[in-house]
Amino acid sequence: MGMDLKQFKARIEQVLSDLEGLAESSQQAAAPVELDQTRQGRLSRMDALQGQAMAQAGEARRQAQVAALKKARLRIEQGTYGQCVGCGEDIAMARLNANLAVTHCIECAEALD
């Protein structure tokens, strides 16, 4: 496969760095909601709880993306990046560019669905 692994690794490292930068702000948004009825009304508390739930879901997605990118980085180091884990064929370059952590070619991904 005629891909520049250094370029993919650099992109993965940049995205990982960006995601790790988001961790701090995400943790603040997911902090427990204060339920002091003397300071805020019921709707404000409900809004705060909804915001907290959204932040927690976002943090879970961020953590999953970080894990997938770290596995992609490991595949680069092992020399298997860009190969479908299902059939062993090369994953299309456009697919890799769209999702740096993709592990299956389009045919295998469709078969999994």
Paired with 13 in beta bridges are none
In a domain, residue 110? The reply is no
In a domain, residue 86? The reply is no
Going by pLDDT thresholds of 50, 70 and 90, the confidence category of residue 17 is very high
Predicted TM-score of the model (pTM): 0.72
In a domain, residue 111? The reply is no
Side chain identity at residue 39, one-letter code? R
In a domain, residue 27? The reply is yes
Tokens matching residue 83: 């190969």
In a domain, residue 52? The reply is yes
Tokens matching residue 15: 């995205």
State the pLDDT at residue 24: 67
Q: How far apart are CA 25 and CA 54, in angstroms?
A: 13
Give how many domains the chain has, as a whole number: 1
In a domain, residue 93? The reply is no
pLDDT higher than threshold 90 for residue 69: yes
- Domain of residue 77 covers 5-81
How far apart, in Å, are the Cα atoms of 20 and each of 11, 62, 67?
A: 14, 9, 11
Q: For 72-101, what is each residue's pLDDT tens digit? A: 999 999 999 999 999 999 999 999 999 999
In a domain, residue 37? The reply is yes
Q: For 23-38, what is each residue's pLDDT tens digit? A: 766 555 556 655 555 5
Question: In this structure, are residues 31 and 52 in contact, taking their beta carbons and an 8 Å threshold?
Answer: yes
State the pLDDT at residue 47: 83
In a domain, residue 21? The reply is yes
